Structure 1
């Protein structure tokens, strides 16, 4: 039997002690960056060592730090994968307007613009479910307030990124491979912007800033996972629904900026994560994978992580039998879902893996989770 490599999509459950310690941290005067704490760093170092050990014991062959360096103050904090970047980039400030409170924005032909998060089309279809905390659909709230780009962006996260690298590399066994996640330019640029003259200029500014973080991760010999749910998820955040052609043009800007940010990095050390968002909503307004895949495949990455287990997108596995997959691209399909606490039968997981092995060969498949397990799946079950 061939060996199938395994990994996760990033976020893993934090211990209660780690969540409480994060919640006890204080903000700086700007109201959204965290004050450093030696005690918290020590707790974080120990927690990363433990979560790497647990992954190793579970048979994971490409382990991560669980995104522990990205602060979550509660189990329902869905924004840590994104909000960590606010701590590492200058040019941001709280203005009272963000993606949750900004006025509704409307798009038109040839003019794709993102509206607020609470104005998503899926929310309009199911307002009762989204408003009901007992439904399991409500997204929770982030630990960090979301700022606005109010000035020139500049990277200031060298020490924080180096600490992430240090904690993970110290936890790795000899010869063991590890990965760290980082936000992609297109997803980072979804913060409200009052400084740059256009959406495209804003995206490219984030690309220029984040390239330093990316290089610090790959220079350490780790795999870099670029988290970019915006490529697919933003479709639901465009109101009214745009044409596929207009949305592809919108996405093309983001893929071009991503390629600029990773230029010169070892391709085999760069992985792109694509998803439709981790909230447990109906997702009936999700964009089909076929509509976005031609643009996604232009990303100059060595592997592609994507949702392939959730019930809204599992059927799309047949697409990989039809498209011309680049010979050097490794597929990292989600074969274990995160949308419910149901534990899939091992035979089903094996069948899911087999679909992608049949498409590209076992050497080019790394079995993964759909998305992070750190927010909605109970820790015992994750």
Structure 2
């Protein structure tokens, strides 16, 4: 028997049961219009759901489990934004625009000073407008998002929520005899993509979010769990700047986001921090995605011990070669996606093993944790999602056998 182990994990979101979605939808909303008021019955339901979810992950062959983002409100079966919008309920200083509020004035990015201008008309969406507008095309965007504005001083108010998240996962780990688990949390750069009327600049807004999210990061780490920081803004924002910036200008645009994130995780154990990078989980062509090679060195400046990224979908699979040419900090663990949220086709375990072995040849088997490209919950049908996780578990076992001879 092989003495080699290839660990497996997920990128966060996993399918919620219809009962949990319905219970979330039934919660009352607070006066701010978007904060859901949890009830004791809902809290008990969520705890039970996390415990059952962890058991199902173990059965599928997942060795480093998460809570499926069950603590982040998701009220529809297809919700691509819960990983982000949950933060609105945990942060003071936000306000929903009134029903008669005028739409934001059009803005344009300027050379040398890129700024987000196209949150709702990304260049990929414009280039493939016919496909995106055709409900029979199979291109999915999920439910329409809602974004509040930052109108006051930002402050974290989610202490009870994150405490429930960590307690639920810790109890589930104990119930199944596990030690390692992770919870996702939002990066400052991604959080700050909402509108802002309070802070004088985008930079000031991002740094304010860094101080907010630091409280949640600390709570997760202090609970003995791994903190996964979700930051699609590092790669995805490229497609939300019009006109398209130069690579040099975009790298400068990322500098504040990298620095603010490092400030937010300062003092946290590097081995308990992992960064998740992706190009957005909606199902579309993604032809305007930025190439990883342009920013990988900046990503590695984040003081995380593990890096989660898309390596299984057909737009980014070839980029495994980028990792051969970078200098990784000592002890860095790569978490490549080897099954994808972007297709209903379930990957063959042999293909999963091949993908894992590419990275094992670069960093050794101990430096690889096989994962999903992005969250599966709300992206593919639950039956397909669990089939993908079983393929992930089986592929990891095959890869370990090949390495062990």
Task: Report TM bin, short chain.
Answer: over 0.9
1:24-63 matches, cutoff 5 A: 24-63=26-65
**C-alpha separation between the residues in 2 aligned to 1:215 and 1:274?**
21
Q: Give me the TM-score of the superposition, normalised by structure 1.
A: 0.97
Q: Deviations over 1:141-169 (max 9, x none)?
A: 15x73210001100111010000000000
1:1-382 matches, cutoff 5 A: 1=2, 2-96=4-98, 102-141=104-143, 145-172=146-173, 173-382=176-385
**C-alpha separation between the residues in 1 aligned to 2:172 and 2:196?**
38
Q: Deviations over 1:269-289 (max 9, x none)?
A: 000000000000110000000
Structure 2 stretches of 5 or more lacking a match?
386-405
State the SS of the aligned residue for 2:227.
strand
1:116 Cα offset (Å): 3.7
Quick one: higher RCO (CA 8 Å, sep 6+), 1 or 2?
A: 2
Q: Give me the TM-score of the superposition, normalised by structure 2.
A: 0.91
**C-alpha separation between the residues in 2 aligned to 1:165 and 1:109?**
44
1:316 Cα offset (Å): 0.6
Q: Deviations over 1:249-294 (max 9, x none)?
A: 1111101000000000010000000000000011000000001111
**C-alpha separation between the residues in 2 aligned to 1:129 and 1:348?**
29
**C-alpha separation between the residues in 1 aligned to 2:69 and 2:86?**
10
Structure 1 stretches of 5 or more lacking a match?
none
Contact kept? 1:102, 1:116, Cα under 8 Å: no
**C-alpha separation between the residues in 1 aligned to 2:315 and 2:77?**
24
State the SS of the aligned residue for 1:135.
coil
Contact kept? 2:118, 2:242, Cα under 8 Å: no
Contact kept? 2:118, 2:241, Cα under 8 Å: no
1:321 Cα offset (Å): 1.1
1:25 Cα offset (Å): 1.4
State the SS of the aligned residue for 1:134.
coil
What is the number of residues matched between the two proteins?
379
**C-alpha separation between the residues in 2 aligned to 1:118 and 1:152?**
26
Contact kept? 2:6, 2:369, Cα under 8 Å: yes
